[in-house]
Structure 1
Amino acid sequence: MLRKTTRFMALVAAGLAFSATALAADVLIEAENFNAQGGGNVAKVTDRPATSGGAALMNFDNEGHWLEWKIDVPEDGNYAVTLRYAGGRKWNVFREVQIDGKVPNSAFAKVTLPTTGGFGRAEGEWKDMVVVGSDGKAAMVALTKGTHVLRITNLGGEGGASGSANLDLIKLSTL
C-alpha cells in the first residue's frame, strides 16, 4: 500500500493524471462519464494533454448548467473531494457540489475555481484542487457504502461573467 500511495503522491506532485490504483478507498470519476445534465450541453474532448483517461469535458460554461454522476462508494467514511479542471478566464468561476440532492456542508455551496492559465491545451493548465473549508483544511463529506449521486452546478463567474472551466476528473478520497 505504501508503494501505491507514494506513486500516487508523485503523480499528483508532477501534475500528471491520477493513477487508478492509488488508494483502495478512492473513488475516481472521469468527468466525461456523466449520467445526466441540464441547462447546457458539454462536449467530450480527446485532444487535451495530461487528462485522466485521455478525455475531458468542455463547454461547461453557462450559469445553472449541471452535470450528474452515479458513484459507487466502496466503504463508509469521510471523503475529501478533488476537482481536476482547467480554466482560462481571467476571473474566478464557481461551482456548487451536491451529493444525493444536498450540499454536504458550506464549503461545497460555492467552490471557487481560480484561473489555471488556459483551458487544458497545455499540461500545466490542469489543476488538481481539493475543496477546502474556511479553515483551509480539506472539507470532508460523510458517505456510506453504496451508490450516490454527485451533482456539480455552474454558478457563473465573478461579476456575472462566464463560468467557463473544463473538467477532467473528480476524486473522492479518504485522508
Structure 2
Amino acid sequence: EGHALTWTLKLPEAGRYQLVVRYSCPNGAQRSIRINDQDLGSFYFFGTGGFGDLESDWDHFYCVRNAQPIILELPAGEHRIHMVNEDGKGNNLDYIALIKK
C-alpha cells in the first residue's frame, strides 16, 4: 500500500487524449492516478482472473468518471503519469498509453 510509479510519455502533438492501461490482476485493485499536476481520482481495476499467465488474464482499463470517459486536453511534449497503490493488492501492467481522441 502506498507504492507509487511514475512514467513519462512524450506526445507528438497537442490534442484530446484518454488514458488507457493494459493490465492483469486476480482479484481487483484500487489505484489513484494523476497526470502532470491534475488528479484524475481513485479507480478500481476489476479482477481479470490472474496475473497474466494466460492471454485471458489481460484487460484494458480506461479512465472514466460517472460513466463518461475522462478526456484530457494536453499540449505536445512530455507528460508524467503517476499511479499509487491504494489497497496493497498487486496487479501487472503491460502498457500505459495516452490515446488521441
After TM superposition, the score normalised by the length of structure 1 is 0.55
Give distance in 2, aligned partners of 1:109 and 1:121: 29
Query: Once the 2 structures are TM-superposed, how far is the Cα of residue 73 of structure 1 from its aligned partner?
Result: 1.1
Query: How far does the alpha carbon of each residue in 1:101-156 deviate from its partner, in whole angstroms, 9 at most, with x for none?
Result: 331xxxx311110100001010000001211110x122112211111211111111
Unaligned runs of 5+ in 2: none
Give distance in 2, aligned partners of 1:93 and 1:149: 21
| Residue in 2 that maps onto 1:74 | 12
| Residue in 2 that maps onto 1:101 | 37
After TM superposition, the score normalised by the length of structure 2 is 0.91
More helix by share: 1
Over the aligned positions, Cα root-mean-square deviation in angstroms equals: 1.2
Q: Which has the higher contact order (CA 8 A, sep 6+)?
A: 2
| Residue in 2 that maps onto 1:153 | 84
* Structure whose alpha-carbon radius of gyration is higher: 1
| Residue in 1 that maps onto 2:91 | 165
Is 1:142 the equivalent of 2:78? no
Structure 1 runs (4+) greater than 4 angstroms displaced: none
Identity of counterpart residues, as a percentage? 30
Aligned residues: 101
More strand by share: 2
